[in-house]
Amino acid sequence: MPTSEASPVGLIDIAAAAERLGVSVRYVRRLVAQRRIPYVKLGHYLRFDPTELDAWIDQSRVAAFDLARRPRSA
Encode pLDDT of 10-46 as tens digits.
999 999 999 999 999 999 999 999 999 999 999 999 9
- Where in the chain are the domains? 1-55
Percent of the chain with pLDDT over 70: 86
Q: What topology does CATH give the domain 1-55?
A: Multidrug-efflux Transporter Regulator; Chain: A; Domain 2 (1.10.1660)
Long-range contacts of 17-24 (CB under 8 A, 24+ apart): 17/48, 17/53, 20/50, 20/53, 21/53, 21/57
Question: Which of the pair, 9 or 11, is modelled with greater confidence?
Answer: 11
In the prediction, which pLDDT does 5 show? Answer: 52
In the prediction, which pLDDT does 68 show? Answer: 75
Q: Which of 5-14, 21-30, 52-61 has the lowest mean pLDDT?
A: 5-14
Q: Is the per-residue pLDDT at 50 higher than 50?
A: yes
